[in-house]
Chain A
Amino acid sequence: MSGTSIDVRLFWYAFLAYLAAFGAFALYGATRGRRVGWAANAALTTGFLLHSAGIAWRWHLAGHWPMTNMFEYASLLSWMAVISYLYIAVKYRRNIVGVFVAPVVVALMTCASLLPKEISQQLVPALQSYWLAIHVSLAALGEGAFAVAFAVSVMYLVQEMRHRRRSGTVVALHADAVPTKAMQQAAATVGGSTVEVLDADTEHFFDAAANGGGITGSTRSRRHHDENERTGRLPSLRLLDEINYRAVAVGYPLYTIGALFAGAIWAYNAWGSFWSWDPKEVGALIIWLFYTAYLHARMQRQWSERRAAWLSVAGFSMTILSFLGNLWLGGNHAYK
């Protein structure tokens, strides 16, 4: 490491701190110890400060905003994800969210660590504009918020799966032992599979008993009771849905204004048209469409919150694909 520049060294130190935070959050997830939670947040914050110092030093060395190659952007993206997590942590005061966010941050840092770290001393003429800072930083901040939304969506889906297990599942072992109408609905998927028997018309408790063979359990309405209850170590579904929404509600306007609008205005100044259907632009548009669909889905009562959570997961996956696609596809954004 002796020949490594200071900014890269700070990057590695931050990486180590994030790894420590990851481990501490994992321990917190298992034990829910308050001090462990404090230590995890402290490690994450330390990593954030080291990371910030690294980015600042790189800025000083390069003489321009350090967001002009793949390594710098991946590093910036993970930094923005930590900022978004800290915002959510202060607003909602739920350390458990860090258990799912820390792995995402570590994954992004890992991705950055694999990329070439040389500083591009001379910016190509197209990048010599104040729009570079506006466009890239806002886009990264938006994607950082999406990263937190992704983590919270995963939490939601895990919690929802646990709810369904606890709320009542019917294991239909024998197709012919289904005395009730509700059980007959479940009989369609016999074979030892676990199904949830729910009466579509009413939401009330009921017990179903089978004659020999099948084991039944009681089922009850999920929506009105479990959504407001914490089950196990994770917050309630409704709170997770709100945190997910808040993360997307922060990221969506930033991404729209930064990635799409600022990028289009800059393209108009540099290349002659607002939109060139460049591969990176198309990727950004598809990411935006995913989150637009998420927001619409959340407003529509016909869409379950689980579908909205899956959309959030898919949106961030598209973000990663778009980032990696820059390695292989050409276009105006590939400064090769």
Chain B
Amino acid sequence: MQQDSKASDSRAKPTSAPRPKSRWRRFWVPRWLVSMKFAIWIAVALAVASVAGVLLQEFFPMRSAADAEALRARLPDPVFRAFGLLQLHDVFRAFWFRGLLGLLAVSLIFCSSQRFRSAFKQAMTLRPFREPQALQSLPHSAVVYHASPELFDAVVGRLRRRFYFGTIELQEGQKVAALHQGGLARTGPVLLHLGILALVLGGLVSSWVGRRHFVEIGPGQTVALEDSRFALRVDDFQIEKNGAGQVKQYRSKVALLEGDREVARREISVNSPLRHAGYNIYQASYAFDPTRASSLTFVVRPRVVDPNTSGTTDPAAAHASPVSQHAHTAAGVGGDPHAACGMESALQSVVVQSGMEGPFAVPGYTGYEFHVTDFFGHLMLGPKGPVNAKRDFDNPAARIEVLKGGKPVAHQWAFAKFPAHSRGELPFTLEMHDAQPALTSGFEINTNPGAPLVWFGFALSTLGLVLAFLVQHRCVFMLARPSERGWSLWIAGRSDHERYAFAGEFARLLRQVKAEAQQLRRQASAPRPALEHTNPNIERASREALVTPYV
């Protein structure tokens, strides 16, 4: 099979045609750099590297220090070092990957410039054929013998009405025409290459010079943007949910500050970023802030004094004793069973709002205030003390400082899931009955200095695609001169990419030539014109669509 393909390929090579000189030769640019083969090899290398990059990121991730440690343990030391040297943890930002992109850009520059002038020249001008043999070599050709000399002009006029334009030469004893339609299609590939070049360059510029970071801030907070004169303030954050409780959209009202001055203010959401002075601020995500609550509900419960022990008694324990069984009857504020014990209680609810700022007065206890010093969305006791186990709201807890006369007198913990376990040394306990999570809004902030080049690349590439693929370059050549069979008109056509589709159009043209010839013959008493096909290499079906030999 290989022998066969080699044989057929060797037969397919053009014979003994000299290679065109490289335009860049005088600048000592090697020919291989200008060649399409080199560009294809670079593209293949990029494709392989891209696949490798995706697989490495999927199966050998190194997004954090923990990942790096895990990878170090998995891989042998030399391999891990090579991993780092070649930047395989982030192939797409590795120096060698950027180098490949740069080589691709260089290749595109040279390839495009090599072909730029010829493409535009072919788009604008078409060289006529002055010998019948040359016309007969084209894919579609025919000749009309005993034609009227005016037939040439009639056919040219007809083609012009179909937007064929080009060169017409009227000489003594000979008329030649080279007309084409859709010549701009020739420029399509060059424009497409230049557009892709702009895209690649724009991407490289943004990759090297652009900045990118992620911030998470809650309503009321302000954060300075890295390496920038701007700061971002979040005024509000809302989540919109549908009837089934699914998140529909989330929005932030943000303001961009330059010093103390507000320079931009917008409500942004996903797909609707804020762009100002080269900075782009995207609503990327949201999350629970495990260290803050948007609102906390506390119940102030008096500490019951047990006359038997002469000490304060935890109301929770008092509730468990048989004496307090009738405590279940509702009495006092909120049906509190402790009130039904006949013990004095001053049950009041205090709702702490937004940001846990305080201090808040403890109702019923003059001079006492409290504020929340620490909050945990999911409290866990670690070796170094209380921490958040996860970034969720599964075990809210708050550490509260109680003040009397403005001075701290006690600390206590309050647990939303276990309100009765709040303990302290005060005449009251603060039980946390409800905690609403504070949300933070996640913003992706970046600069994209290559963006204008990328936009230009999109526009140029799209224009190139339309011209290259949607516009067909079709050429019609004509030669009229006297021959042994009277005044003869040779007509030929070609379409670069769609031979069969053009065959139908050429057949229609020949029918019209036939009609014109008949009409002109009637006007002047001339011998009957004869039309013959001159190129046998036409598919049988197309040949059948053409006119019959004699008009």
Contact = CB atoms under 8 A, between A and B. Distances in A.
A and B associate in one complex: yes
Secondary structure at the A interface, as helix, strand, loop or mixed, is helix
A129 B271 contact: yes
A269 B9 contact: no
A196 B11 CA distance: 13
Contact of A256 (B242, B246, B465, B540): B465
A306 interface: yes
Contacts of A289: 43-44, 46-47
A253 B282 contact: no
Given A188-B3, A196-B4, A253-B465, A245 B497 contact: yes
A253 B467 CA distance: 10
A275 interface: yes
A203 interface: yes
23 contacts: A92-B501, A122-B246, A126-B270, A128-B249, A200-B7, A203-B11, A228-B537, A228-B540, A238-B500, A242-B501, A252-B465, A257-B462, A264-B458, A266-B271, A269-B273, A273-B446, A277-B54, A279-B58, A289-B44, A293-B40, A293-B43, A302-B12, A304-B9
Contacts of A186: 3
Interface in B452-467: 454, 458, 461-462, 465-466
B499 interface: yes
Given A188-B3, A302-B9, A272 B501 contact: no
Interface of B: 3-5, 7-14, 36, 40, 43-44, 46-47, 50-51, 53-54, 58, 91-92, 202-203, 206, 212, 242, 244, 246-250, 269-273, 280, 282, 284, 444, 446, 448, 451, 454, 458, 461-462, 465-466, 468-470, 497-501, 537-540
A126 B51 CA distance: 25
Interface in A302-325: 302-304, 306
Query: For B7, B92, B247, which residue has the most chain A Cβ atoms within 10 angstroms?
Result: B7
A265 interface: yes
B54 A126 contact: no
Given A122-B246, A122-B248, A272 B4 contact: no
A9 interface: no
A119 interface: no
A3 interface: no
A158 interface: no
B501 A296 contact: no
Contacts of B247: 122, 124-125
A329 B3 contact: no
Query: For A236, A252, A271, A330, which residue has the most chain B Cβ atoms within 10 angstroms?
Result: A271
Contacts of B462: 257, 261
Query: For A122, A124, A221, A306, which residue has the most chain B Cβ atoms within 10 angstroms?
Result: A122
Contacts of A230: 540
Contacts of A246: 498, 501
B271 A125 contact: yes
Contacts of B14: 301
Nearest to A298: B497
Interface residues of A, number: 67
Contacts of B47: 285-286, 289
Contacts of A238: 499-500, 539
A271 B50 contact: no
A301 B270 contact: no
B141 to A, nearest CB: 15
Contact of B242 (A122, A222, A293): A122
Contact of B273 (A272, A277, A303): A272
Interface of A: 91-92, 121-122, 124-126, 128-129, 131, 164, 185-186, 188-189, 195-196, 198, 200, 203, 221-224, 228, 230, 236, 238-239, 242, 245-246, 249-250, 252-253, 256-257, 261, 264-266, 268-275, 277, 279, 282, 285-286, 289, 292-293, 296, 300-304, 306, 329-330
A189 B1 CA distance: 9
A252 to B, nearest CB: 7
B454 A274 contact: yes
A334 to B, nearest CB: 11
Nearest to A262: B458
Nearest to A329: B58
A300 B13 CA distance: 10
A306 B5 contact: yes
A206 to B, nearest CB: 14
A124 to B, nearest CB: 8
A121 B244 contact: yes
Nearest to A125: B270
A128 B271 contact: yes
Nearest to A305: B12
B119 to A, nearest CB: 13
B206 to A, nearest CB: 7
Contacts of B9: 302-304
Contact of B8 (A236, A279, A304): A304
A269 B444 CA distance: 11
A223 B8 CA distance: 9
Contact of A92 (B54, B250, B470, B500): B500
B73 to A, nearest CB: 23
Nearest to A276: B92
Given A228-B539, A271-B282, 18 more contacts: A121-B246, A122-B248, A196-B4, A196-B7, A198-B4, A239-B500, A242-B498, A257-B465, A265-B458, A268-B451, A269-B273, A270-B282, A272-B446, A274-B202, A277-B50, A301-B14, A303-B9, A329-B58
Contact of A273 (B7, B206, B537): B206
Nearest to A274: B454
Contacts of B54: 277, 279, 282, 329
A296 B36 contact: yes
B43 A292 contact: yes
Contacts of B92: 277
A306 B11 CA distance: 14
A250 B469 contact: yes
A304 B500 contact: no
A272 B212 contact: yes
Contacts of B465: 252-253, 256-257
B196 to A, nearest CB: 9
Given A269-B273, A272-B212, A285-B50, A304 B12 contact: yes
Query: Considering the complex of A and B, which 8 residue pairs feature the smallest CB-CB distances, nearest first?
Result: A125-B270, A253-B465, A277-B92, A122-B246, A198-B7, A272-B444, A282-B50, A129-B271
A269 B268 CA distance: 11
Given A228-B539, A274-B454, A282-B53, A304 B5 contact: yes
A301 B12 contact: yes
A249 B539 contact: no
Contacts of B206: 273-274
Contacts of A222: 8
A300 B36 contact: yes
Contacts of B448: 268, 273-274
A124 B451 CA distance: 27
A58 to B, nearest CB: 19
B458 A261 contact: yes
B504 to A, nearest CB: 10
Nearest to B5: A304
Contacts of B500: 92, 238-239, 242
